[in-house]
Amino acid sequence: MADLICRWRNATPENVVFLVNSLPHHKMKSKDFRSYMKNHWNGDFFHTPYQVACQLGLYYESNDGYFHPRFDHDISTTEALKYLEYWAPRYYVPNPYTSEESFKDIPCPTFVLPSLANYAMNHPGCLYIDAFKNVFKEKETGNDDIVKNIINKYSKVLNYSKDAKLTAISGISFPSFKNISRNNKESFFSIFNMAKTVSRMERYASSNIQERQQMFYDYMIGNGLAESSAKQYAFIHAVNEEVVGIVKQESAKGSLFEVVDILLVKKIYKLVNKLSVNIKRNNALSASIYNYKHFLDWLEGIDEPTPVDHLDSSSKTTEALDINKVIEAIKNSGLQYEDNLIIRFAMSLLTKPFVILSGLAGSGKTQLAIAFAKVICENFDEQACVVPVGADWTNREPLLGYPNALKEKVYETPESGVLQIMLKAVEDKNKPYFLILDEMNLSYVERYFADFLSAMESHESIPLWDKEDKKTPKRVELPKNLFIIGTINVDETTYMFSPKVLDRANVIEFKISEKEMESFLGKAPSVNLDNIEGSVSSMAVDFVALAKASIESGFDDSKDMLIKFFSQLKTVNAEFGYRSATEIGRFIALAKNQGHLDDNDAIDAAIVQKLLPKLHGSRKKLVPVLTTLWDMCATGVGIESANEVPEQTKYPLTADKLLRMYRGALDNGFTSFAEA
């Protein structure tokens, strides 16, 4: 029996979506691909499903041992349909995935649909079985129902009737390919290469308003929302007069579907959420904006949960991030922090999920990290891992474990639980997970943390071993929903961070003012972190989505100042690169739109967290630079005569740090950002 195409499921857009979105989206070694599919596919992929995926041209494995995917992103049913319509007339036999015993008497390639269409045109009223035998020189057909589906849905000119007759309106032109080796996988794969694919967001940007509305509707339907709700959100609530009024007020756009800035949409959501008409309609208008926000995340390629239905009570467990509620929740524990510090910490995590907390021992660095994780996690014990760094850590084993050299096929997972929480985060991409490394600089960070530092920038997975078992894969990715927080002290027992480490993080310094200590001693609060666990966990999904989202930088009001700082820092070889500039822009945008800081406070925080930490050197080297930077902070007084930072200072955090570094340089002949 000769199967034109292997049986698994019918070639429908839904099944193509299922296959494509289960495959990796980037080139990798075949052994890693096979390991990935064994771990992620429910069942035996390498039995029948892989043949169908290959025959559909969704991937191939080259002779040099690499996996090559068709798509570099998850696709929608609309995109799958377009692909099937392109694929169908180009599919040929024999090919590398048909039986070696089949189709031996026909040339390669013999294009299936064009050949059947032309036969039907020349033999009106013919039976499919006769067309098959004459075209493919085989005695028996196979998987007729699968072929019938392809003919009737994707040929556009052929019909396979219930009485097994084959009719054609017109012929189908043959693709211009001749003399292909039946076993050439690359040639077979290449024949289905469409014109350069564009991203979802590019397709959206090039569409008109009506097409964008339809894409929004299709997204919700494709993700399981009821048709009636999807219609209301896309075609009624999103164009409500009061909603459009807020859109015009905040963005100067005439339609919600013209707004693609995530932070702006979140601001619109908060304003719509307060509308009386929204409250009267059971939050239907704000639910539309909320779903549109997740739709934009999806356009950017971010994995998102199912859209919410305001009529479904379970959907009310998710809400937009509100930094004021986060601050209130943390303070309910009894911990005392300035609002500005919590905002900077949260916005730094959203900018990049690696933050270093530096400062005086006992000033609350670890407690803030734990408190933040507690309030936003549903289950702190499952979603957070607090690891005290050992002074004897010289390699990655305490974090990632190691393959047992004495026991083949045994991987020793670390007692710290770090690898385990990474694997949890990989499987649960919409929830936040936290890795808190306490006293991170008790050992050389570059030794035990090198794999993490590399993965942050390369976005490549971390190799573990050359085998695999049910618990431990060959490689592990550094999940985007894993937020790493390191705390450091500076004394004779610790090591300084290199610029390589500092450049990859926001560094937030903790210090206690005389006023804060006076308040503490006046009435020492009772601290209880257990009573705040999960208090804002309804914002967790939005927190992760925001951390993954592409955000337009906030350089508008800060560009000139940053260039001035760059010029001065360059004189002492402490200038910043493109990565830091990008992260500064992202931080400023988040701090202004999510943290509600004004322009000066956002720029001030960015400078002190990203630019100053690498600054260190002798008095002769740094005093001129510190003096010039102080003047840029618009204090109104010279640094030589300043005893404290004046109230009118434009950038008070930066000025305070510069003044302390200046004094250190004068007193000790040397100064650095890190202080004991």
Round to whole Å and give the CA distance between 163 and 579: 65
Q: Could you tell me the pTM of the whole model?
A: 0.63
Round to whole Å and give the CA distance between 499 and 10: 55
Write phi, then psi, for 42 (nearest 5 degrees). -85, 90
CA dist list (Å): 393 to 361, 397, 399, 456: 21, 8, 10, 21
Per-residue exposure over 399-408, b if at least 16 CB sit within 10 Å of its own CB, e if not: bbbeeeeeee
Round to whole Å and give the CA distance between 160 and 150: 10
Round to whole Å and give the CA distance between 284 and 307: 13
Round to whole Å and give the CA distance between 535 and 540: 10
CB contact at 8 A, 68 and 189: yes
pLDDT of residue 313: 42
Round to whole Å and give the CA distance between 114 and 652: 74
Q: Which domains does the chain have, with CATH numbers?
A: 2-190 (no CATH), 200-315 (no CATH), 323-548 (3.40.50.300), 559-672 (no CATH)
Round to whole Å and give the CA distance between 473 and 400: 12
Coil vs helix vs strand at 586: helix
Write phi, then psi, for 624 (nearest 5 degrees). -60, -40
- The angle formed by the CA atoms of residues 616, 617 and 619, to the nearest 5 degrees, is 125
CB contact at 8 A, 151 and 158: yes
CB contact at 8 A, 588 and 606: yes
Peptide bond into 69 cis (omega under 30): no
* β-strands 475-476, 462-463 pairing: antiparallel
Give the single-character DSSP code of 439.
T
Six token digits for residue 313? 């009570």
DSSP assignment of 8-47: SS---HHHHHHHHTTS-SS-EEHHHHHHHHHHHSSS-TTT
Round to whole Å and give the CA distance between 203 and 205: 6
Round to whole Å and give the CA distance between 268 and 244: 10
Round to whole Å and give the CA distance between 612 and 213: 46
Round to whole Å and give the CA distance between 52 and 3: 12
Q: How buried is 44 (Cβ within 10 angstroms: 0-12 exposed, 13-18 middle, 19+ buried)?
A: exposed
Secondary structure of 594-605 as H, E, C letters? CCCCCHHHHHHH
CB contact at 8 A, 385 and 423: no
Q: Report the chain (676 residues): mean pLDDT per 10 consecutive residues.
A: 77 89 89 88 85 94 91 84 90 91 90 90 91 89 84 85 85 67 90 73 87 88 79 91 94 93 89 87 87 87 60 56 93 90 96 93 92 94 95 94 89 94 91 96 93 90 87 91 94 83 92 79 79 90 88 75 89 88 92 90 94 91 94 90 91 94 93 81
Strand ranges for 489-584 from DSSP E: 506-510
pLDDT of residue 78: 82
Round to whole Å and give the CA distance between 580 and 589: 14
Q: How far apart are the first and last CA of the chain?
A: 80
Where do the H-state alpha helices sit in 123-240?
128-136, 144-154, 185-190, 200-205, 209-222, 227-235
For the chain, give me the number of helices (H) and strands (E)? 31, 20
Q: Within 10 Å of residue 39's Cβ, how many Cβ atoms?
A: 13
